[in-house]
Amino acid sequence: MNTNWERSRRSWLARNRLALISAAAIAAYAIFVEWVWGWPVLLRQWAEIGVGPVLSALALLVATYFIRCYRIHDYFPGETRGRFLSLFRVTQVHNLLNIMLPFRAGETSFPLLMRSEFGVPLVRGTAALFVMRLLDLHALLTVAAVGLVAGRGQGAIGWVLWLIAFLSPLAFFLMKEKALTVMRRFAPAKAGPHLDEVAAGLPIGIPAFLRAWAMTMLNWAVKVVVLAWVLAIMGVAPLAASFGGALGGELSSVLPVHAPAGVGTYAAAIVAGAVSFGASADQATLETLGRASVNAHLMVIVSAVAGTMLSLLLRPTA
Protein backbone atom coordinates (compact mmCIF):
# COMPACT_ATOMS: atom_id res chain seq x y z
CA MET A 1 0.00 0.00 0.00
CA ASN A 2 2.72 2.43 1.02
CA THR A 3 4.72 1.40 -2.03
CA ASN A 4 1.81 2.26 -4.34
CA TRP A 5 1.34 5.59 -2.56
CA GLU A 6 5.05 6.41 -2.91
CA ARG A 7 4.96 5.54 -6.59
CA SER A 8 1.86 7.67 -7.09
CA ARG A 9 3.48 10.60 -5.29
CA ARG A 10 6.68 10.31 -7.34
CA SER A 11 4.62 10.10 -10.52
CA TRP A 12 2.68 13.24 -9.56
CA LEU A 13 5.89 15.11 -8.75
CA ALA A 14 7.42 14.04 -12.07
CA ARG A 15 4.37 15.23 -14.01
CA ASN A 16 4.14 18.55 -12.20
CA ARG A 17 7.79 19.33 -11.47
CA LEU A 18 7.93 22.27 -13.86
CA ALA A 19 4.73 23.78 -12.45
CA LEU A 20 6.11 23.43 -8.92
CA ILE A 21 9.40 25.08 -9.92
CA SER A 22 7.45 27.89 -11.60
CA ALA A 23 5.25 28.44 -8.54
CA ALA A 24 8.29 28.46 -6.24
CA ALA A 25 10.07 30.98 -8.47
CA ILE A 26 7.02 33.26 -8.57
CA ALA A 27 6.70 33.14 -4.78
CA ALA A 28 10.41 33.90 -4.38
CA TYR A 29 10.10 36.89 -6.69
CA ALA A 30 7.04 38.25 -4.88
CA ILE A 31 8.90 38.04 -1.56
CA PHE A 32 12.03 39.56 -3.12
CA VAL A 33 10.16 42.57 -4.54
CA GLU A 34 8.44 43.17 -1.19
CA TRP A 35 11.74 42.91 0.67
CA VAL A 36 13.77 45.21 -1.61
CA TRP A 37 11.21 47.78 -2.76
CA GLY A 38 7.78 46.98 -1.32
CA TRP A 39 4.71 46.29 -3.45
CA PRO A 40 2.81 49.38 -2.18
CA VAL A 41 5.70 51.63 -3.25
CA LEU A 42 5.86 49.92 -6.65
CA LEU A 43 2.12 50.24 -7.27
CA ARG A 44 2.12 53.88 -6.14
CA GLN A 45 4.92 54.73 -8.57
CA TRP A 46 3.15 52.96 -11.41
CA ALA A 47 -0.10 54.77 -10.61
CA GLU A 48 1.75 58.02 -11.33
CA ILE A 49 2.66 56.69 -14.79
CA GLY A 50 -0.90 55.59 -15.54
CA VAL A 51 -2.67 52.24 -15.63
CA GLY A 52 -2.98 52.20 -19.42
CA PRO A 53 0.71 52.67 -20.24
CA VAL A 54 1.80 50.21 -17.53
CA LEU A 55 -0.57 47.46 -18.68
CA SER A 56 0.32 48.08 -22.33
CA ALA A 57 4.03 47.88 -21.58
CA LEU A 58 3.61 44.70 -19.54
CA ALA A 59 1.52 43.10 -22.30
CA LEU A 60 4.14 43.91 -24.94
CA LEU A 61 6.99 42.66 -22.74
CA VAL A 62 5.12 39.39 -22.15
CA ALA A 63 4.59 39.15 -25.93
CA THR A 64 8.37 39.10 -26.39
CA TYR A 65 8.47 35.88 -24.33
CA PHE A 66 6.27 34.20 -26.94
CA ILE A 67 8.69 35.38 -29.64
CA ARG A 68 11.59 33.84 -27.69
CA CYS A 69 9.63 30.64 -27.24
CA TYR A 70 8.88 30.43 -30.96
CA ARG A 71 12.57 30.89 -31.71
CA ILE A 72 13.42 27.84 -29.59
CA HIS A 73 10.44 25.92 -30.97
CA ASP A 74 11.74 26.53 -34.49
CA TYR A 75 15.25 25.59 -33.34
CA PHE A 76 14.11 22.18 -32.04
CA PRO A 77 11.13 21.35 -34.29
CA GLY A 78 11.30 17.59 -33.85
CA GLU A 79 11.53 17.60 -30.07
CA THR A 80 8.98 20.37 -29.42
CA ARG A 81 6.39 19.67 -32.12
CA GLY A 82 2.90 19.88 -30.63
CA ARG A 83 4.25 20.98 -27.23
CA PHE A 84 4.51 24.74 -27.57
CA LEU A 85 2.85 25.45 -24.21
CA SER A 86 5.20 23.06 -22.42
CA LEU A 87 8.12 24.80 -24.10
CA PHE A 88 6.71 28.19 -23.11
CA ARG A 89 6.75 27.09 -19.48
CA VAL A 90 10.35 25.90 -19.82
CA THR A 91 11.43 29.22 -21.33
CA GLN A 92 9.68 31.17 -18.57
CA VAL A 93 11.30 29.17 -15.78
CA HIS A 94 14.66 29.64 -17.49
CA ASN A 95 14.02 33.38 -17.80
CA LEU A 96 13.08 33.75 -14.13
CA LEU A 97 16.11 31.82 -12.94
CA ASN A 98 18.31 33.83 -15.27
CA ILE A 99 17.10 37.10 -13.80
CA MET A 100 17.21 35.88 -10.21
CA LEU A 101 20.64 34.25 -10.10
CA PRO A 102 23.89 36.28 -10.31
CA PHE A 103 26.50 36.12 -13.08
CA ARG A 104 24.10 34.43 -15.53
CA ALA A 105 24.11 31.24 -13.43
CA GLY A 106 20.50 30.68 -14.43
CA GLU A 107 21.64 29.86 -17.97
CA THR A 108 22.56 26.37 -16.78
CA SER A 109 18.87 25.64 -16.30
CA PHE A 110 18.11 25.77 -20.03
CA PRO A 111 19.98 22.64 -21.19
CA LEU A 112 18.88 20.81 -18.03
CA LEU A 113 15.21 21.66 -18.58
CA MET A 114 15.39 20.86 -22.29
CA ARG A 115 16.86 17.46 -21.45
CA SER A 116 14.31 16.64 -18.75
CA GLU A 117 11.26 17.87 -20.69
CA PHE A 118 12.16 17.15 -24.32
CA GLY A 119 15.07 14.71 -24.25
CA VAL A 120 17.54 17.17 -25.84
CA PRO A 121 21.13 16.10 -24.99
CA LEU A 122 23.00 18.49 -22.70
CA VAL A 123 25.76 19.31 -25.18
CA ARG A 124 23.26 20.03 -27.93
CA GLY A 125 21.13 22.24 -25.68
CA THR A 126 24.20 24.11 -24.47
CA ALA A 127 25.45 24.68 -28.03
CA ALA A 128 22.04 26.00 -29.08
CA LEU A 129 21.91 28.33 -26.07
CA PHE A 130 25.40 29.63 -26.86
CA VAL A 131 24.39 30.47 -30.45
CA MET A 132 21.20 32.19 -29.31
CA ARG A 133 23.04 34.26 -26.72
CA LEU A 134 25.60 35.35 -29.33
CA LEU A 135 22.72 36.42 -31.57
CA ASP A 136 21.15 38.30 -28.64
CA LEU A 137 24.37 40.16 -27.93
CA HIS A 138 24.91 40.90 -31.62
CA ALA A 139 21.37 42.30 -31.96
CA LEU A 140 21.80 44.69 -29.04
CA LEU A 141 25.28 45.82 -30.09
CA THR A 142 24.28 46.48 -33.70
CA VAL A 143 21.23 48.49 -32.61
CA ALA A 144 23.44 50.49 -30.23
CA ALA A 145 25.93 51.03 -33.05
CA VAL A 146 23.21 52.67 -35.16
CA GLY A 147 22.97 55.46 -32.60
CA LEU A 148 26.72 55.83 -32.38
CA VAL A 149 27.26 55.98 -36.14
CA ALA A 150 24.34 58.37 -36.69
CA GLY A 151 25.23 60.56 -33.72
CA ARG A 152 28.88 61.02 -34.60
CA GLY A 153 28.32 61.68 -38.29
CA GLN A 154 30.72 59.01 -39.51
CA GLY A 155 29.26 59.12 -43.02
CA ALA A 156 29.55 56.31 -45.54
CA ILE A 157 32.56 54.65 -43.90
CA GLY A 158 30.74 54.33 -40.59
CA TRP A 159 27.66 52.79 -42.21
CA VAL A 160 29.75 50.36 -44.27
CA LEU A 161 31.49 49.19 -41.10
CA TRP A 162 28.10 48.87 -39.40
CA LEU A 163 26.75 46.79 -42.29
CA ILE A 164 29.75 44.46 -42.10
CA ALA A 165 29.19 44.03 -38.37
CA PHE A 166 25.48 43.47 -38.94
CA LEU A 167 26.09 40.70 -41.50
CA SER A 168 28.91 39.05 -39.52
CA PRO A 169 26.70 36.31 -37.94
CA LEU A 170 25.78 35.04 -41.39
CA ALA A 171 29.44 35.00 -42.42
CA PHE A 172 30.40 33.01 -39.31
CA PHE A 173 27.52 30.60 -39.87
CA LEU A 174 28.65 29.93 -43.44
CA MET A 175 32.07 28.95 -42.06
CA LYS A 176 30.68 26.50 -39.48
CA GLU A 177 31.32 23.35 -41.55
CA LYS A 178 34.97 24.23 -42.10
CA ALA A 179 35.38 25.04 -38.41
CA LEU A 180 33.80 21.74 -37.35
CA THR A 181 35.96 19.84 -39.83
CA VAL A 182 39.12 21.38 -38.35
CA MET A 183 37.92 20.64 -34.81
CA ARG A 184 37.21 17.00 -35.66
CA ARG A 185 40.63 16.66 -37.25
CA PHE A 186 42.53 17.81 -34.17
CA ALA A 187 40.19 16.72 -31.38
CA PRO A 188 40.65 13.36 -29.59
CA ALA A 189 38.56 10.49 -30.92
CA LYS A 190 36.42 10.37 -27.78
CA ALA A 191 35.41 14.00 -28.40
CA GLY A 192 33.75 13.03 -31.69
CA PRO A 193 30.27 12.34 -30.24
CA HIS A 194 30.35 15.65 -28.36
CA LEU A 195 31.25 17.53 -31.53
CA ASP A 196 28.36 15.80 -33.27
CA GLU A 197 26.03 17.12 -30.57
CA VAL A 198 27.54 20.60 -30.91
CA ALA A 199 26.86 20.45 -34.66
CA ALA A 200 23.30 19.30 -33.95
CA GLY A 201 22.87 22.32 -31.68
CA LEU A 202 23.55 24.68 -34.59
CA PRO A 203 20.84 25.70 -37.08
CA ILE A 204 20.36 23.02 -39.75
CA GLY A 205 20.77 25.35 -42.72
CA ILE A 206 20.67 28.94 -43.87
CA PRO A 207 16.82 29.21 -43.75
CA ALA A 208 16.78 27.98 -40.13
CA PHE A 209 19.58 30.36 -39.21
CA LEU A 210 17.84 33.32 -40.87
CA ARG A 211 14.61 32.52 -38.99
CA ALA A 212 16.47 32.39 -35.66
CA TRP A 213 18.24 35.64 -36.53
CA ALA A 214 14.98 37.35 -37.55
CA MET A 215 13.20 36.25 -34.36
CA THR A 216 16.14 37.55 -32.32
CA MET A 217 16.04 40.97 -33.98
CA LEU A 218 12.24 41.16 -33.62
CA ASN A 219 12.36 40.18 -29.94
CA TRP A 220 14.94 42.79 -28.99
CA ALA A 221 13.43 45.48 -31.21
CA VAL A 222 10.07 45.16 -29.44
CA LYS A 223 11.63 45.03 -25.98
CA VAL A 224 13.96 48.00 -26.50
CA VAL A 225 11.21 50.13 -28.07
CA VAL A 226 8.82 49.35 -25.20
CA LEU A 227 11.40 50.14 -22.52
CA ALA A 228 12.44 53.33 -24.34
CA TRP A 229 8.78 54.38 -24.45
CA VAL A 230 8.40 53.70 -20.71
CA LEU A 231 11.53 55.69 -19.92
CA ALA A 232 10.32 58.59 -22.08
CA ILE A 233 6.96 58.61 -20.26
CA MET A 234 8.86 58.85 -16.97
CA GLY A 235 10.71 61.96 -18.10
CA VAL A 236 13.91 60.66 -19.68
CA ALA A 237 14.89 63.01 -22.50
CA PRO A 238 15.81 63.38 -25.30
CA LEU A 239 14.26 60.38 -27.05
CA ALA A 240 17.71 59.11 -28.04
CA ALA A 241 18.59 58.96 -24.33
CA SER A 242 15.52 56.79 -23.70
CA PHE A 243 16.70 54.34 -26.34
CA GLY A 244 20.22 54.48 -24.94
CA GLY A 245 18.92 53.71 -21.47
CA ALA A 246 16.86 50.78 -22.72
CA LEU A 247 19.85 49.40 -24.63
CA GLY A 248 22.13 49.83 -21.63
CA GLY A 249 19.78 47.98 -19.32
CA GLU A 250 19.27 45.08 -21.71
CA LEU A 251 22.99 44.82 -22.47
CA SER A 252 23.63 44.41 -18.75
CA SER A 253 21.10 41.57 -18.70
CA VAL A 254 22.96 39.49 -21.30
CA LEU A 255 26.49 40.11 -20.04
CA PRO A 256 28.10 37.98 -17.28
CA VAL A 257 28.30 40.92 -14.83
CA HIS A 258 24.78 40.59 -13.47
CA ALA A 259 23.70 40.99 -9.83
CA PRO A 260 20.91 38.84 -8.33
CA ALA A 261 17.68 39.97 -10.04
CA GLY A 262 19.79 42.68 -11.69
CA VAL A 263 19.52 44.84 -8.57
CA GLY A 264 21.82 47.81 -9.06
CA THR A 265 23.45 46.64 -12.29
CA TYR A 266 20.36 46.97 -14.51
CA ALA A 267 19.38 50.44 -13.25
CA ALA A 268 22.98 51.67 -13.37
CA ALA A 269 23.29 50.45 -16.96
CA ILE A 270 20.12 52.35 -17.90
CA VAL A 271 21.55 55.56 -16.45
CA ALA A 272 24.90 55.04 -18.18
CA GLY A 273 23.22 54.28 -21.50
CA ALA A 274 20.95 57.31 -21.29
CA VAL A 275 23.85 59.66 -20.49
CA SER A 276 25.89 58.15 -23.34
CA PHE A 277 23.05 58.88 -25.77
CA GLY A 278 22.52 62.51 -24.83
CA ALA A 279 20.90 62.80 -21.40
CA SER A 280 22.24 65.59 -19.21
CA ALA A 281 24.46 64.65 -16.27
CA ASP A 282 23.19 67.38 -13.92
CA GLN A 283 21.79 66.48 -10.50
CA ALA A 284 18.09 66.89 -11.37
CA THR A 285 18.36 64.78 -14.52
CA LEU A 286 20.29 62.06 -12.73
CA GLU A 287 17.58 61.89 -10.05
CA THR A 288 14.93 61.52 -12.76
CA LEU A 289 17.04 58.86 -14.46
CA GLY A 290 17.48 57.02 -11.17
CA ARG A 291 13.73 56.82 -10.50
CA ALA A 292 12.92 55.92 -14.10
CA SER A 293 15.59 53.21 -14.25
CA VAL A 294 14.33 51.51 -11.08
CA ASN A 295 10.73 51.61 -12.34
CA ALA A 296 11.73 50.19 -15.72
CA HIS A 297 13.69 47.43 -14.02
CA LEU A 298 10.71 46.57 -11.82
CA MET A 299 8.52 46.43 -14.91
CA VAL A 300 10.88 43.89 -16.49
CA ILE A 301 10.80 41.78 -13.31
CA VAL A 302 7.01 41.91 -13.03
CA SER A 303 6.63 41.03 -16.72
CA ALA A 304 8.80 37.95 -16.13
CA VAL A 305 6.60 36.92 -13.20
CA ALA A 306 3.46 37.61 -15.25
CA GLY A 307 4.79 35.51 -18.12
CA THR A 308 5.50 32.61 -15.78
CA MET A 309 2.04 32.87 -14.21
CA LEU A 310 0.56 32.85 -17.71
CA SER A 311 2.55 29.70 -18.52
CA LEU A 312 0.93 28.03 -15.49
CA LEU A 313 -2.55 29.05 -16.62
CA LEU A 314 -1.98 27.88 -20.20
CA ARG A 315 -1.68 24.23 -19.23
CA PRO A 316 -0.86 21.80 -22.06
CA THR A 317 -3.79 19.60 -23.02
CA ALA A 318 -1.56 16.51 -23.27
Per-residue pLDDT 10s for the chain (318 aa) are 455 555 555 565 555 665 666 667 667 767 776 776 677 877 777 777 788 888 899 999 999 999 999 999 998 998 999 899 999 999 998 888 887 777 677 888 899 999 988 999 998 899 899 889 999 999 999 988 887 777 666 678 888 988 999 999 999 899 888 888 888 787 787 777 777 787 878 888 899 999 999 999 999 999 999 999 989 988 888 888 999 999 998 888 887 766 665 667 888 889 999 998 888 888 888 888 888 888 888 888 888 888 888 988 887 655
* Residue 106: partners with Cβ closer than 8 Å, 6 or more residues away: 94, 96, 97, 98, 99, 100
- 237 φψ region: left (φ > 0), alpha (ψ -120 to 50), beta (else): beta
The neighbour count for residue 70, using CB atoms within 10 Å, is 18
Residue 12 lies in a domain: no
Residue 273 lies in a domain: yes
pTM of the predicted protein model: 0.83
Please name the residue ranges forming H helices in the chain: 2-36, 39-49, 51-75, 77-80, 84-100, 109-118, 122-152, 155-174, 176-186, 192-200, 206-233, 239-254, 265-276, 283-313
Residue 138 lies in a domain: no
Whole domain around residue 50: which residue ranges?
A: 26-118+205-313
Residue 94 lies in a domain: yes
Residue 165 lies in a domain: no
Q: Give dist(CA 135, CA 141) in Å, integer.
A: 10
What is the number of structural domains in the chain? 1
Residue 125 lies in a domain: no
